[in-house]
Amino acid sequence: MAEDVFARLNPALRKAIAAMGYKTPTPIQAAAIPPVLDGRDVMGCAQTGTGKTAAFCLPLLHRLAAAHATVRPGHPRVLILAPTRELAAQIGENLAAYAKGLAIPTAVVFGGVSINPQIEAIRHGVAVLVATPGRLLDLCLQRHLALDAIDAVVLDEADRMLDMGFLPDIKKILDRLPAKRQSLFFSATLAPEVVALAKQFIRGKAVTVRIDPGEPTVERIRQRVLFVDKENKFALLKWVLDSPKCFRVIVFPRMKHGADRLAKQLNRDGFPAAALHSDKSQGARQRALEAFRTGKIQVLVATDIAARGIDVDDVTHVINYDLPDEPETYVHRIGRTARAGAEGEAISLVCAHDREVLRHIERLIGKSIPQQLDHPLHSEAARTAMGADAVRPKRQPRPTPPPRAAKPAPARPPRFPRPGRRR
């Protein structure tokens, strides 16, 4: 029974998760914790917001505590790979909270910040290391870190790892790991390229755990579509944000420069906001997340990659300012609300050229999203768009400028003999 899964954990872990408000395991935890406790390899498919971080962290900490294994400086026992700095930091925070009553040192390493404190933490000895691939390889190449003592490795958000081009780095990391190890592989989707990576990562027979992407998170989210003309979209966003129910909101534009522009416009018009994307420094990203968590700002304007790893309680609304190109990304986005049993709302602002994308999203989630037609900026043209009007135009490559005509060489001035000099 699902209720018995937490009962198998170390008493210190049970005390820690009770203090964090965990009562019963989520489906991914109920399915994944037992095989991880038994030392089995696991391939898990579950979207964000389903509790999968605890599904691998808790049993791995339990196994480390039971083994009483010594930790050598520079030789971690467990490695958790994450695609983004935000997700790595979030996993690190959860690990520290879970391991509060255990003498198990943990550390997080990622790029964008000074490497020196990370080197110092590794020198002191770390049992569990959370890392992004680039910084991990940097530390290995500089001989501050060796992966020869790894007993268990986790690849989290594997689909996003591939999207971000980390496959070459992952292969280099795999080459450094012991052949005999426990391998845990988690992804929101199991597309063919993700399965191919899983086969390289997990060499033996794995327990497959798959949680339907429509359950439980999407069903708890109230979804609605607002049709609008492109030139009225920002005004409609402000109309939505004006609701007293919108007190902690994540807004998703399509591009990084769009995130900066939106955050600037919102601040100008009285809606405290900050942008979060991969071009921001790590310090700026952490300040934005902290301001969002503590309620200093109402709106976090985030791109899809930066949003992986945002784990903030009580996000009341997710607003798709621009619909994503991939329908699966829509599911990832709206999973930022309705977390840990709470309810939430997802609102999509849809222009005429988004109509076909919306149809693909509805096909993926298996239902039509309710339409709100009584808002003040409703566009009937967007609602009924068909054919070419309903398809987002592809970005055209910039035309190659014609070659510049070669400038004629400047005429050389005549040379005259110096005064007093004979020729």
Tens-of-pLDDT digits for all 423 residues of the chain?
445 789 999 999 999 998 887 888 888 999 999 999 999 999 998 876 678 899 999 999 999 999 987 889 999 999 999 988 888 988 998 899 999 889 899 999 999 889 999 999 999 999 999 999 999 999 999 999 999 999 999 999 898 888 788 999 999 999 999 999 999 999 887 788 888 898 889 977 899 988 765 444 566 789 999 999 999 999 999 999 999 889 899 999 988 888 999 999 999 999 999 999 878 887 888 889 889 989 999 999 998 766 766 777 789 999 999 998 878 788 878 888 877 667 789 999 999 999 999 998 998 888 899 999 999 999 999 999 887 777 776 554 445 555 555 555 555 655 555 555 444
Spell 396-410 as b/e; 16+ CB within 10 A means b. eeeeeeeeeeeeeee
Kindly state whether residues 222 and 202 are assigned to the same domain.
Answer: no
| Torsion angle, alpha carbons of 172, 177, 181, 187, to 10 | -30
Residues 182 and 249 in one domain: no
Integer-rounded Cα Rg, in Å, for the chain is 26
Question: DSSP secondary structure string, 348-415?
Answer: EEE-GGGHHHHHHHHHHHTSPPPB---STT--HHHHT--GGGGSPPPPPPPPPPPPPPPPPPPPPPPP
Is residue 24 located within the same domain as residue 103? yes
- The count of domains in the chain is 2
What's the pLDDT score for residue 2?
A: 44
Residue 308 lies in a domain: yes
Residue 205 has, within 13 A of its CA and on its CB side, a CA count of 0
pLDDT in tens, 83-114: 888 889 889 988 999 998 898 999 999 998 89
What are 154's two structure tokens? 């986790």
Task: Give residue-wise pLDDT tens across range 116-166.
Answer: 999 999 999 999 999 999 999 999 999 999 999 999 999 998 988 887 889
Same domain? 301 vs 342:
yes
Per DSSP bridges, beta strands 78-81 and 207-210 are unpaired
Is residue 402 in a domain? Answer: no
Measure Cα distances from 353 to 216, 368, 383, 388 in Å.
Answer: 31, 18, 10, 8
In a domain? residue 244 = yes
Upstream peptide bond of 216 is cis (omega within 30 degrees of 0): yes
Task: Judge if 222 and 204 occupy the same domain.
Answer: no
- Do 206 and 221 lie in a common domain? no
In a domain, 423, yes or no: no
Domain membership flag for residue 410: no
Domain boundary among 158, 177, 210: 210
Q: Within a domain: residue 293?
A: yes
Residues 205 and 221 in one domain: no
Residue with tokens 């018009």: 269
My answer on whether 74 and 92 are in the same domain is yes
Q: Which residue has the tokens 């990832």?
A: 332
Element (H, E) at 210: strand 207-210
CATH number of the domain that residue 102 is part of:
3.40.50.300
**Judgement on whether residues 175 and 132 belong to the same structural domain of the protein:** yes
- Predicted confidence at residue 216, as pLDDT, reads 43
Cα end-to-end distance, the chain, whole Å: 110
If asked whether residues 205 and 257 sit together in one domain, one would say no
pTM for the whole structure: 0.64
333 lies in some domain: yes
Give me the pLDDT at residue 100, please.
87
Return the pLDDT at 277: 85
For residue 13, give its domain range. Answer: 2-210
For residue 255, report the phi and psi dihedrals to the nearest 5 degrees.
-120, 160
- Asked if 255 and 326 sit in the same domain, the reply is yes
Mark which of 210, 227, 242 sits at the end of a domain: 210
The verdict on residue 421 lying in a domain is no
163 shares its domain with 222: no
